[in-house]
Amino acid sequence: MNKQKKILICPLDWGLGHATRCMPIIAYLLEKGNEVLIAGNHSTNALLAAEFPKLTYLHIQGYDIEYAKTKWFLPFKIAWQIPKILNAIRREHGWLQKVIAEYNIDLVISDNRYGLHSKEVRCVFITHQIFIQIPQSPIIEKYIQRMNEWFCRKFSAIWVPDYEQNGMAGNLSSRSTPLDKMIYIGNLSRFDSSNQHEKKFELLVVLSGPEPQRGIAENIIFKQLLNTQIRTLLVRGRRDAPPLAPHREHLLIQNFLNRRDLEMVMQTAEIALCRSGYSSIMDLIKLNKHAVLIPTPGQTEQEYLAQYLAGKGWFINSQQNTLCLEKVLHQFRSTAFHSFPEYDFELYKRVIDEELAILVLSSILSRKR
């Protein structure tokens, strides 16, 4: 019997972190001899195609979430877009049923796309946010939490990229009563190792996330860099944008770096500064690299993670609007960071093996009927 399976992987378009954390899953499924198809919007497909150029790529419309310019208005702006999000979920649910039939899909892996479940095949849902926090509005938080759990229960399994003990996401990935089918799968970093390299930069700044906050952070940081002598590499996180010309010899600017180049510069920089997005945090921990985290203002998940992980002594939490690069570099150099736990970085592979075994067993039982 042919054990090769057709597996559809669909990362959410809400930033590129959902796509980057799917990379190790895609690589391992290919290593095991499976056929992998990817579905995403232009940005996520382009990112993954640079790493996996020979795969089949399908287009699926994104959620197209709009962000606010101010911290306190962002949660309410997201809540205001809930009807649009629900329409996108219904649309992608119908889309999936057609794709399953057309491409004979055996397994669907959805990274935070709530509509990609089906009664025809097994569907896995990836999320590190089992408990969604919106402290500015307990009413909105309660409503979204109930909706989150209702959708999660429609999937065959829920993969949580974290660890049950001493986790990376704190309260976000844990509940007093765990959801049915909830499985911890460990760190999903796209990076490979934590090799030691000669330091080339004092500071590496990696910008990411949606506008307008990405651009606001860039302006704040760029103005300060022009008035310092800090040897810096600034990675803007904008693949197709016109270049931002540097005006000082100490400042190197790149619009975008692929996975291998970004991993290299992460390890050749004395200090890294980036958003506290969960995928970035998993990458830093995989590389055994402490860093300065700057949460996106108003994005409660990032604000919680930055505060929680700084409290564990792993990172420094700095606010975007009050950021002073010279002060934060001094703080970093004078901080005695706590070591990261000795995490099992192979856990996700064993979970995938178990899922593939379920598919094989299901195929055997269906043939006997």
Distances (CA, A) of 183 to 19, 92, 165, 348: 20, 24, 13, 10
pLDDT tier at 1, thresholds 50, 70, 90: very low
* 320, pLDDT greater than 50: yes
Helix-helix angle 23-31:42-51, to 10 degrees: 50
Whether the Cβ atoms of residue 38 and residue 56 lie closer than 8 Å to each other: yes
**CB-neighbour burial class of residue 116 (10 A; exposed 0-12, middle 13-18, buried 19+):** buried
Amino acid identity of residue 147, one-letter, is M
Give me the percent of the chain exceeding a pLDDT of 70. 90
In this chain, the answer to whether the domains covering 6-188+345-368 and 201-333 adopt an identical fold is: yes
Task: Please tell me the predicted confidence (pLDDT) of residue 364.
Answer: 72
Does the domain formed by 6-188+345-368 have CATH 1.10.357.10?
A: no
Measured in degrees and rounded to the nearest 5, phi and psi for residue 335 equal -90, 135
Domain parsing of the chain, residue ranges: 6-188+345-368, 201-333
Tokens of residue 206, six digits: 């990696």
pTM of the model: 0.92
Q: Which two tokens stand for residue 338?
A: 């706590």
Which residue in this structure is represented by tokens 């979430």? 65
Three-state SS for 305? Answer: helix
Q: Which two three-digit tokens encode residue 59?
A: 């287009």
* Domain 201-333: top CATH class: alpha beta
| pLDDT of res. 31 | 97
How far is CA 71 from each of CA 90, 97, 139, 303, 331, rounded to the nearest angstrom? 29, 38, 18, 11, 25
Q: How far is CA 137 from CA 79, 141, 142, 143, in A?
A: 10, 6, 9, 10
> What pLDDT, on a 0 to 100 scale, did the predictor assign at position 157?
96
Count CB atoms within 10 A of the CB of residue 62: 17
pLDDT tens sequence across 263-315? 999 999 999 999 999 999 999 999 999 999 999 998 889 999 999 999 999 99
Q: Judge whether 73 and 88 are in contact, CB under 8 Å.
A: no
Tokens 């810096």 belong to which residue?
232
Cα dist from 94 to 91, 117, 149, whole Å = 5, 10, 21
Residue 341 pLDDT greater than 80, yes or no? yes
Mean pLDDT of the chain: 90
Per-residue pLDDT at 209: 83
Residue 53's pLDDT is 97
For the record, the structure tokens of 345 come out as: 């970085």
- The answer to whether residues 18 and 278 touch, using CB atoms and an 8 Å cutoff, is no
Question: Chain-centre distance of CA 188, in angstroms?
Answer: 9
Whether 368 shows a pLDDT value over 60: the answer reads no
* Cβ count within 10 A of residue 178: 14
Q: What is the mean pLDDT of residues 209-233?
A: 92
Q: Tokens 């640079």 belong to which residue?
A: 50
Output the pLDDT for position 245: 75
**Which has the minimum average pLDDT: 67-71, 179-183, 225-229?**
67-71
